[in-house]
Amino acid sequence: MKKLLIGLLTLVPSLAMAAGGAPVPYQANIDLTDTESLQRGAKVFMESCFGCHSAQYQRYNRVADDLNISYSDMLQNYMVNDAKIGELMVNSVDNEQAAKWFGAAPPDLTLVARVRGEDWVYSYLKTFYADETRPFGVNNTVFPSVGMPHVLQQYQGIATVDSVDEMGRVTLKTDENGNVITTGGSMNAQEYDQLVKDLTGFLVYSADPVKLERESLGKWVLGFLFIFFIISYLLKKEYWKDVH
């Protein structure tokens, strides 16, 4: 009963967030077997997100082991602080100061993909737009009144609003392929989409590092149970064959 209650309490935040908020326009379709994509995503996270957001339930050496990154490469090209390879991925941001800057302390991102969902994270990173009424000059279609800057703006550029419906939901200008039209970024739509998919993939992995291992083990367990069922059935027939 205790485990059941814990499981239900774990689901409540996910259900609440799925029930409210703005529509999620894009599907991420993350492939956790694409190790190179996850490696690139880890690098983007460390360079663009880690300055404000920790991943305090993840360790550097675990990431290195899971994503086939050597410890020397992890230390030189991924880690942006003086932490040791076995330490948790915690930055040095003072939460009280950060709350003054952003209105609230930046949340830890280890479990964001599990709570929000991979499609939400992917869509969020693609749908910032110019809004001079906001403190950092940007807003977001899936997280209205967002309190953070568009940290990937140098890559994507900035989008503009196409329309606002009667519910106040914003639609951004897109091209004939559905790509958000932006100005000022160093990447084209396809390049930025790959960068966002890489980063989303890393966050999906961080939220559940053993997912692939668990799914692989589950297939073996189901196979064992199937074989055990056949053996049990044949044994039962043998025991009962002389019973009338």
* CA pair distance 138, 237, nearest whole angstrom: 71
Determine contact, residues 55/109, Cβ cutoff 8 Å: yes
User: What pLDDT, on the 0 to 100 scale, is given for residue 15?
Assistant: 39
User: What pLDDT, on the 0 to 100 scale, is given for residue 194?
Assistant: 97
User: What pLDDT, on the 0 to 100 scale, is given for residue 244?
Assistant: 62
Scan for tokens 């390049």, then name that residue. Answer: 191
Q: Is 170 left (phi over 0), alpha (psi -120 to 50) or beta?
A: beta
- Amino acid letter, residue 42: A
* CA pair distance 59, 90, nearest whole angstrom: 9
* CA pair distance 80, 69, nearest whole angstrom: 15
Q: Is the pLDDT of residue 2 over 90?
A: no
Cβ atoms within 10 Å of 173's Cβ, excluding its own: 13
For residue 180, give the DSSP letter.
Answer: B
pLDDT in tens, 75-115: 999 998 889 999 999 987 777 776 777 777 888 999 999 99
pLDDT in tens, 105-154: 888 999 999 999 999 999 999 999 999 999 899 999 999 999 889 999 99
* CA pair distance 67, 89, nearest whole angstrom: 15
CATH of 2-209, one of 3.30.499.10, 3.40.980.10, 3.50.50.60, 1.10.760.10: 1.10.760.10
95-98 long-range contacts (CB < 8 A, ≥24 apart) are: 98/52
Instruction: Please give the full DSSP string across 60-100, using - where no structure is assigned.
Output: HHHHHHHTT--HHHIIIII--SS--TTSEE-----HHHHHH
DSSP H or E segment with residue 156: helix 153-156
The CA dihedral of 128, 133, 136, 138, to the nearest 10 degrees, is 10
- Amino acid letter, residue 229: F
Determine contact, residues 201/37, Cβ cutoff 8 Å: yes
pLDDT in tens, 54-81: 999 999 999 999 999 999 999 999 998 8
Determine contact, residues 166/144, Cβ cutoff 8 Å: no
User: What pLDDT, on the 0 to 100 scale, is given for residue 18?
Assistant: 40
Determine contact, residues 22/143, Cβ cutoff 8 Å: yes
* CA pair distance 103, 146, nearest whole angstrom: 10
